Structure 1
Amino acid sequence: MINSETINKIMDAARIEEVVGDFVALKKRGTSLIGNCPFHNEKTPSFNVSVTKGIYKCFGCGKGGDAVHFIMDHEKYSYPEALKFLANKYNIPVEETVQSPQNIEAQNAREALYIVSQYAAGFFSEQLWNGSEGRAVGLSYFKERGFREDIIRKFELGYSPDSWDALINASKAAGHREAYLESTGLVVKNEKGKLYDRFRGRVMFPIHNFTGRVIGFGGRTLKTDKNVPKYVNSPESDIYHKSNVLYGLYHAKKAIRDLDNCYLVEGYADVLSAHQAGVENVVASSGTSLTTEQIRLIGRFTQNVTMLYDGDAAGIKASLRGLDMILEEGLNVKVLNFPDGHDPDSYMHLVGAGAFKHYIENNRKDFILFKADTLLKEAGNDPIKRAGIIRDIVESIAKIPDNIKASVFIRECSHLLQVEERILLTELNSMRAAKFKKATNQQQGQYPSSQQGQYPSGQQGQYPSGQQGKYQQGQYQQSNFQPSQFHPDQPPENLFDDSPQPAPVTIDQEEVQEKEIVRLLLAYGHELVNWDKIDNMFIGSFIIQNLSDVSFKHPICKRIIAAYRDEIENGQLPVANQFIKGEDREIADLAITLSTSPYALSENWYNRHQIYVRDETMNLKATVLGGIFHLKKRKVDQILLDLLQEIKEENDATNQEILMQRYAHIKNVEKEISKFLGSVILK
């Protein structure tokens, strides 16, 4: 089988819009892409691709899945074959292995690292909010820095007690093994073999991966001792690789996609301050120099990057260093520096949220203007230095893979620096020729000449004979597929084409409410409860706790709820992708259906008519409690119906009296639920 590391690389590289776009012509509509479904014949597009969620869903025939399942369905490939197809598309070498007990143990060990990291995040948060030292030192620090409580909770900030073994003792008491604590870098072993807490006496910044799981930490000391490093970060581990992580991406990815721009900052506090100012499309390089992998992560959501760095010399140098890397990856980049040596964090707290947003939106400079202004100030009137700067700027332009963009920047550079465009183009072509020659020499040194132009082993024969061009152009489609059955939750087929409408299906309202609960868990399970003074509880845990007395009837909903409850009991809050991209296809299909919608709220309501339409996220209390109590009301209604039937069929007077008393009791419960639902809806 293909090893898990290779599968993860394929999953990270595969972009749903690119994979589907090879076979389906997609057009943007709202936040999704739409096209004609390749799995059934239709005239009106009902096939949706969600780039942010990495899934597709047809609201005509019900097909849905991720990039791998699209290839499996479209090409009739097995799971390994689909993975190899995508590996070939993204030039990823496929490493295969035999599943052995050692491999299974290694996978379990990796999952244990996630679990212990999440436990540590919860421990640090608990210490910050409820520990006497944490509140006096850690929470006071964050509040003195001007951070609101909602921002502190949103990023799960915490405090590690100034003790050698506080986390070790708490983790051992909770049943976690020391070996996993050491593997994540949460504890360190000294020369004598004794373990101690790495982050003692520091405020803690949990680092989340792409799906929201805690994989590492950054810890800031509050001591003034110059011998104590200001920041300590988690070391590399099986689940944490600094070069592949952007701090804040989990919280920023939706805003980056929606606004088609990513603000790139240096530090944890910069991200927090931007969010507090209402700017959520912001990430930081997680305590490391910017890497190519981090830039490519941004490129999955937007082609536009704005670098926000300090106004001092070090910040300017950091901007110039990262600028060329971003250009080389084909992204558009602008740069913004803050006045008087401020960074995003200090400037936001100096001028306030409104002025901060206004400043970053109106003072961004194109990279060429920024680089020219910065370097020409250093050169003064020295002609030799000016020539070197011009060459430096052209070298940046040479890194842009798009020829049209490069030519536009050459023209701008010519006007700005007062150098003939012809001279700049000659220099540009010379640099590109040298780069091409170097790359060619490296390739010839890497591969034997006899292998030039061949496919990597095992990657030939992916297309039917003569059809490769059609596949790449998205022309090859299966137009004769007919859906095997009508899905009751989807619109009738004749809304999309001229095929006959199936017979109407009666929808079980109890089933509808059960699916609504699953939808709420998938959509908002990781949001924090922010009502009725409930502290530090996620909506997922809140829903499961409040439905402990409810039995689910729909078999797939029942399995999802059971899995969700088991994860919570094991100290881990599930993410939607665990169900959407899981091995159980029935669960995955339902999760995809409930996570997508054929409808989107038109921006014209506000842009043209100035009508502001509230959505369910504006009042999550009403949304969540409404879902819980609507389901409870359906369950109670069914109990009442069953009791009425029992009363009607019961001949014994005593038993009938008992049943009637129970009916009256349940009826009172039903009235209370109805009363509560009315109050929630009116809020």
Structure 2
Amino acid sequence: MISPSSIDQVFETARVEEVIGDFVQLKKSGTNFKGLSPFSDERTPSFMVSPVKQIWKDFSTGKGGTAVSFLMEHEHFTYPEAIRYLAKKYNIELEETEQTNEQKEKADERESLYLVSEFASKYFQNILQKTDQGKSIGLSYFKERGFTEETIKKFDLGYSLDEWQAFTDEALKKGYKLEYLEKTGLTIVKDEKRFDRFKGRVMFPIKSMSGRVLGFGGRILITDKKAAKYLNSPESDIYHKSKVLYGIYDAKQSIAKEDNCYLVEGYTDVIQFHQTGIKNVVSSSGTALTSEQIRLINRLTKNITVLFDGDAAGMRASLRGIDLILEQGMNVRVCTFPEGEDPDSFARQNTLEELHDYLAENAKDFIQFKASVLYEESKNDPIRKAETIRDIVNSISKIPDRIKKEVYIQECARIMDISESVLFSTLAQMDKKELQEEDKRYKNEQKAFEVIKHQQPVKKVDVQYLMERKIIEILLLYGNKTEDFEDLVLKENDKGDLELEPVIQQARVFEKVFLDLQDDEMQFSNETFKTLYYTIIERLNQDTDFELKTFINSVDQDMANEITTILMDDERYTLDDWNRMDIYPKEKKHTVAQLVSETILSLRCFLIDQKVKEFQQETLKNKIDSNRNILEEVKDYSSLKMLLSRKLNRVL
């Protein structure tokens, strides 16, 4: 269990923009940052981070919260795991007691899979470094590949003994359950027999963006025609190979900093590049490139350079992934190595400067690369050449940006020696076909919408809901502030007439709000706001050093979502970047005291209107003459509203 003082230290130190910046490419937007949502597939930013409020909001999914809640949502951390991650990031030493067996058993299944994977990673590292078989076989292999001791430890490389159940026996001995060993794929269970999946292989742990071990890649070191050279963990609740990139944990900061990501094929390609000094590199781990993997990179940069072996098969394979990258609106360059070389061997034989120079000189734009590969195969065959050109135009059609499309069409015309008008005509046909399909989908969606539209009446604006929401926002942002509040009190003047006279009173904002609402016996109609209101008032009463981020971390996730929605609602409009179109929204210039007074008075006026409507309905319903009392009540309420309106400087 982590001590409260350690948790407080983590909260005080962690910066939400720095934490989220490790996972999402954030761009400055006024006082905030914006970026693409990591929780949905989008091309226009709807994700907002506020350094001032130390919270984030994803308007595409409705999720929001603090740095801790982001890690819990994005990385599926438990609360303690999120705290430990932040402590490690900010070099904070945590005070904590060891978990009991009972607490370990209470960990949910997903967490158990993570714990088993973490144990396996440390076990394989230990075997590599401290056993004779590990040193003579595994460590020797890595040293032959040119990996230094520092690199081996950085990437947590390991070795699995060439024995049928050495790992499984050790894991069971340490108290890890067989069902989780099987679910992670580390142990294969067949006919009541169990044996290690990665027997006799060097091990490459595959990590998430936050560094959690999700699965493994294992390479066999002996020649065995029956066994696969590389073997990956099977799919599990924590490992989905189509959504994971090898090396992303070690590369994420460099990718964002360099604004470019090198994409290679294998584990050793990543490690060798990293060791040479190029750290913004990841691998698709031997699987075909997927849209999910591209979106993972898209959060950090818009630029991908695909690196492939010099063989023809490797170059052909690269073409399949290019269209996927283009569809995501990203910029693609491709670099191939001399025949017989791959990124691993080339990096090993060259210095950092030589590698940088080679990549800079040989990285081609996708159009040049695709044309050069396909043109060589089709230059003497007019039919094949026509197919090649159509293939290139098809790739260009995937690009969302119209200006980029036109530039690439011009480039294609130059390289393939064909008129631009023919290519534009072909592109228009492809775009028209795609547009027709989009239109068809849209019409189907509209039909479904029309059904819903006729079924549901348009909801009216709930004024009381909005005002109650504004009160919660005021308490969260300014509840602890002390302000001078001007109130207008009815006093008799020298002539005996009643007039409004200003009186200044100093009070903390939450006290002013609480007393004003209590004086009029006003109750919240929305149950969520009601709960929030009393929770905030109680906390402000008890804690003179009330901090917003600490408070959000102390409430449950539903309440945290509601809080961030309230606080970030105004910020969502900055996502549209109105200033770029010379539209400048008027900024709020209310003082806090003025904002509090106007909100409370407006709510009072609204509730008076509601009360008068109730009296009117009662009068119509009863249809009797004895309505004098009701009329007196209506008159009193109308007078009160007139008085409140004068305070608000409103004309009735």
Short-chain TM bin: 0.5 to 0.7
Quote how far apart the aligned CAs of 1:462 are: 11
Aligned residues of 1:33 and 1:49 also touching (Cα < 8 A): yes
SS of 2:478's equivalent?
coil
Correspondence for 2:596: none
SS of 2:288's equivalent?
coil
Quote how far apart the aligned CAs of 1:246 are: 0.8
Correspondence for 1:343: 342
Aligned residues of 2:37 and 2:58 also touching (Cα < 8 A): no
Correspondence for 2:157: 157
Q: Once the two structures are superposed, what CA deviation does each residue of 1:297-339 show, in whole Å capped at 9, x if it has no partner? A: 1111111111001110111011111111111111110000001
Structure 1: gaps (5+ residues): 1-15, 21-30, 37-44, 84-104, 467-477, 488-501, 503-554, 561-577, 590-683
Aligned residues of 1:55 and 1:66 also touching (Cα < 8 A): yes
Quote how far apart the aligned CAs of 1:273 are: 0.9
Q: Which has the higher contact order (CA 8 A, sep 6+)?
A: 1
Correspondence for 2:55: 64
Quote how far apart the aligned CAs of 1:442 are: 5.9
**CA distance in structure 1 between the partners assigned to 2:311 and 2:27 by the alignment:** 42
Question: Does 2:321 correspond to 1:328?
Answer: no
Aligned residues of 2:55 and 2:64 also touching (Cα < 8 A): no
SS of 1:339's equivalent?
coil
SS of 1:357's equivalent?
helix
**CA distance in structure 1 between the partners assigned to 2:251 and 2:111 by the alignment:** 25
Aligned residues of 1:233 and 1:287 also touching (Cα < 8 A): no
SS of 2:108's equivalent?
helix
Change (3 A) 1:455 1:373: farther
**CA distance in structure 1 between the partners assigned to 2:209 and 2:451 by the alignment:** 35
**CA distance in structure 1 between the partners assigned to 2:458 and 2:238 by the alignment:** 35
**CA distance in structure 2 between the partners assigned to 1:323 and 1:336 by the alignment:** 12
Quote how far apart the aligned CAs of 1:452 are: 4.3
Aligned residues of 2:57 and 2:63 also touching (Cα < 8 A): no
Q: Once the two structures are superposed, what CA deviation does each residue of 1:495-549 show, in whole Å capped at 9, x if it has no partner? A: xxxxxxx9xxxxxxxxxxxxxxxxxxxxxxxxxxxxxxxxxxxxxxxxxxxxxxx
Change (3 A) 1:63 1:228: closer
Quote how far apart the aligned CAs of 1:351 are: 2.3
SS of 1:433's equivalent?
helix
> Map of 1:643-682 to 2, 5 A cutoff?
none
Q: Once the two structures are superposed, what CA deviation does each residue of 1:48-74 show, in whole Å capped at 9, x if it has no partner? A: 569899883434xx4434548996889
TM-score, structure 1 normalization = 0.56
**CA distance in structure 2 between the partners assigned to 1:457 and 1:283 by the alignment:** 50
Quote how far apart the aligned CAs of 1:350 are: 2.2
Q: Once the two structures are superposed, what CA deviation does each residue of 1:130-157 show, in whole Å capped at 9, x if it has no partner? A: 1111111101100110011221111111
Aligned residues of 2:260 and 2:303 also touching (Cα < 8 A): yes
> Map of 1:260-279 to 2, 5 A cutoff?
260-279=259-278
Question: Does 2:209 correspond to 1:210?
Answer: yes
**CA distance in structure 2 between the partners assigned to 1:169 and 1:301 by the alignment:** 41
SS of 1:204's equivalent?
strand
Q: Which among 468, 471, 479 is matched to residue 484 of structure 1?
A: 479
Correspondence for 1:256: 255
Quote how far apart the aligned CAs of 1:408 are: 0.8
Correspondence for 1:120: 120
Q: Once the two structures are superposed, what CA deviation does each residue of 1:423-462 show, in whole Å capped at 9, x if it has no partner? A: 1000001112222334455676xx5874146779999999
Paired AA for residue 479 in structure 2: S
> Map of 1:122-141 to 2, 5 A cutoff?
122-141=122-141
Change (3 A) 1:174 1:448: same
**CA distance in structure 2 between the partners assigned to 1:304 and 1:249 by the alignment:** 15
Change (3 A) 1:448 1:356: closer
Paired AA for residue 306 in structure 1: T
Correspondence for 1:473: none
Paired AA for residue 268 in structure 1: Y
Change (3 A) 1:148 1:401: same
**Which entry has the higher C-alpha Rg, 1 or 2?**
2
Correspondence for 1:411: 410
SS of 2:335's equivalent?
strand
Change (3 A) 1:458 1:180: farther
Aligned residues of 1:126 and 1:158 also touching (Cα < 8 A): yes
Paired AA for residue 448 in structure 2: Q
Change (3 A) 1:182 1:392: same
> Map of 1:12-411 to 2, 5 A cutoff?
33-36=27-30, 45=31, 47=32, 56-59=49-52, 62-65=53-56, 67=58, 108-190=108-190, 192-411=191-410
**CA distance in structure 1 between the partners assigned to 2:407 and 2:239 by the alignment:** 40
Correspondence for 2:602: none
Quote how far apart the aligned CAs of 1:110 are: 1.3
**CA distance in structure 1 between the partners assigned to 2:239 and 2:135 by the alignment:** 29
Aligned residues of 2:185 and 2:197 also touching (Cα < 8 A): yes
**CA distance in structure 1 between the partners assigned to 2:455 and 2:241 by the alignment:** 32
**CA distance in structure 1 between the partners assigned to 2:383 and 2:51 by the alignment:** 62
**CA distance in structure 1 between the partners assigned to 2:272 and 2:459 by the alignment:** 49
Structure 2: gaps (5+ residues): 1-15, 39-46, 74-104, 464-472, 483-506, 508-544, 565-652
**CA distance in structure 2 between the partners assigned to 1:174 and 1:112 by the alignment:** 13
SS of 1:195's equivalent?
strand
Quote how far apart the aligned CAs of 1:382 are: 2.1
Aligned residues of 1:247 and 1:283 also touching (Cα < 8 A): yes
Quote how far apart the aligned CAs of 1:580 are: 13
TM-score, structure 2 normalization = 0.58
Correspondence for 1:671: none
Aligned residues of 2:258 and 2:280 also touching (Cα < 8 A): yes
Q: Once the two structures are superposed, what CA deviation does each residue of 1:393-430 show, in whole Å capped at 9, x if it has no partner? A: 11111111111110110111112222111110000011
Quote how far apart the aligned CAs of 1:381 are: 2.5
Correspondence for 1:9: none
Q: Once the two structures are superposed, what CA deviation does each residue of 1:365-408 show, in whole Å capped at 9, x if it has no partner? A: 00111111111111132222211211111111111111111011
Quote how far apart the aligned CAs of 1:193 are: 2.2
Change (3 A) 1:453 1:358: farther
**CA distance in structure 2 between the partners assigned to 1:128 and 1:379 by the alignment:** 50
**CA distance in structure 2 between the partners assigned to 1:224 and 1:484 by the alignment:** 71
**CA distance in structure 1 between the partners assigned to 2:280 and 2:378 by the alignment:** 35
Change (3 A) 1:52 1:125: farther
By percentage of residues, which structure has more strand? 2
**CA distance in structure 2 between the partners assigned to 1:367 and 1:217 by the alignment:** 32
Aligned residues of 2:246 and 2:284 also touching (Cα < 8 A): yes
SS of 1:239's equivalent?
coil
Q: Once the two structures are superposed, what CA deviation does each residue of 1:259-308 show, in whole Å capped at 9, x if it has no partner? A: 11111111111110110111111111122100111111111111111100
Question: Does 2:462 correspond to 1:451?
Answer: no
**CA distance in structure 2 between the partners assigned to 1:218 and 1:130 by the alignment:** 21
Paired AA for residue 56 in structure 1: V
SS of 1:257's equivalent?
helix
Aligned residues of 1:52 and 1:257 also touching (Cα < 8 A): no
Correspondence for 1:514: none
Change (3 A) 1:284 1:32: closer
Change (3 A) 1:376 1:479: farther
**CA distance in structure 1 between the partners assigned to 2:554 and 2:183 by the alignment:** 28
**CA distance in structure 2 between the partners assigned to 1:480 and 1:405 by the alignment:** 48
Aligned residues of 2:206 and 2:214 also touching (Cα < 8 A): yes
Change (3 A) 1:305 1:106: farther
**CA distance in structure 2 between the partners assigned to 1:556 and 1:351 by the alignment:** 57
Aligned residues of 2:48 and 2:57 also touching (Cα < 8 A): yes
Correspondence for 1:569: none
**CA distance in structure 2 between the partners assigned to 1:117 and 1:233 by the alignment:** 13
**CA distance in structure 1 between the partners assigned to 2:453 and 2:126 by the alignment:** 52
